[in-house]
Structure 1
Amino acid sequence: MPPKTKDKGRKAGAQKKKKNPGADVEAEGKHRLVLLEKELLRDQLALRRDEARRAKASEDLLKQRLQGLEAELGRARSEGKAIYAEMSRQQWALQEKMETQSKQLEEETKILREQLETCQKEAEAAREEAEQALKEQDQVLAQLRAHVEDMEAKYEEIIHGNLDQLLAKLRAVKPQWDETVLRLHAKHKEQLRQFGLNPLDL
């Protein structure tokens, strides 16, 4: 009995299949469509997973680059702060140095101005003294010239007066001098004759 039931069932199924072949084709088509959709979904899911992995890798790479850039930015900020601090220190030191040099130059300028004023006053005083000395020297020279001229006039007067007196005396003495010369000459001739000499031979 049971085998007969099985056969009957097979027969019934066979009969059904035979009776609805279009339904089987449609079911098989739907099954294949579902399988295709399933494969398509699997492929899409795989693509999405690949895209997600690539996106994750890109995100990790971007995070690493971002961390590197943040580290470089931090170092740059630290270096910038250090450079700014060093430049501020140098600027402050330079400003203090410039202020010190400016004060020194102001003091030196003040001292030099005072020395210049003193030198100008001394030079003015020396110029006035020199002018006064030159005036006095000119006066002394004028007095000396006048004195010399006066002495020259007096000496000329004295010399001319003495010469005139001397010439007068010579004129007065000349006759006596001529007589004495003639007398001595005659005496000399007489002495030569006494010795037997001719005065003309001499």
Structure 2
Amino acid sequence: MSSKKKTKKTTKKNPEKCDSDLETKYRRSVMDIAILQDRIALHCESVAKVQSDRSDLRTCLKDSEQKLLQERQDHRDINSALSHEYKTMKMELTKKVKRLEKEVSLLNEELALCQEELKKEKREREKMEQDNDAAITDLLRKVDSMSTHYEKVLHDTLDSLTSQLSVAQQRWENKNTSFYQNYEELLSEFGLNAQDI
């Protein structure tokens, strides 16, 4: 009550001051409204920007989710392809390993057979060499024996031939002497000397 009375009293006392206060309050209110409108406009702009940014972020997020989903799908596809390729390569490698193991086994068997055959041929060759050495030794012994025998026969034959030649020479000389004497006698009958002829 007292404040109302005071206000009334003040109003009553100074109406010009009251008008001035009202005008000041009005101007202040207009300024406050303008400020508030500016703030609201700024706030609206901020809200619009935030909404625009939020929309852009949602679009970006959707794009990122799509990319992520695509990358996951690509990753799954790559994993599937790699897994399939790995299984195929593993299967082929297993087949190749088995084939090579089989080839190695066959080659080992062939090698064992070849080594056995080589040992057999080596034994046969050694036996043949021993037989050849024995045959050569026997032949050399026979050659030595035959050489000795033929040398003896040759000496005997030469001795016999020498003896026969000696006998023949003696006979020839005897015949020659006889012939020469006959020749001299014939020449002397004709009055010739054998020494002059």
**Band the TM-score falls in, shorter-chain normalisation:** 0.7 to 0.9
1:145 and 2:125 matched: no
Look up the match of 2:60.
Answer: 65
Instruction: Please point out which of 144, 149, 173 is paired with 1:178.
Output: 173
Which of 53, 67, 88 is the aligned partner of 1:93? 88
Give % identity.
26
Q: Residues 189 and 199 of structure 1 are in contact (CA less than 8 Å); yes or no, is this contact kept in structure 2?
A: yes
Q: Which residue is equivalent to 1:130?
A: 125
2:98 equivalent in structure 1 = 103
Contact 1:192 1:199 survives alignment (8 Å): yes
When the two structures are aligned, how many residues end up with a matched partner?
Answer: 187
SS of 1:152's partner is helix
TM-superposition CA deviations, 1:124-183 (whole Å, max 9, x none): 111111111101110000000000100000001111112112222222333221021233
Alignment of 1:169 onto 2:164: yes
1:112 aligns with 2:107: yes
Structure 1 residues 146 and 22, CA gap change in structure 2 (3 angstroms): same
Q: How does the TM-score come out when normalised to structure 1? A: 0.82
Unpaired runs of at least 5, structure 2: 1-10
CA distance in 2, matches of 1:157, 1:171: 21
Distance 1:57 1:78 in 2: 31
Runs of 5+ unmatched residues, structure 1: 1-15
Between 46-55 and 31-40, report the one with greater CA deviation. 31-40
CA apart distance, 1:26: 1.2
| CA RMSD across the alignment | 2.6
Alignment partner of 1:163: what SS? Answer: helix
TM-score normalised by structure 2 residue count: 0.84
| Residues 87-134 of structure 1: per-residue CA shift (max 9 Å, x gap) | 111111111111111001100111111111111111111111111110
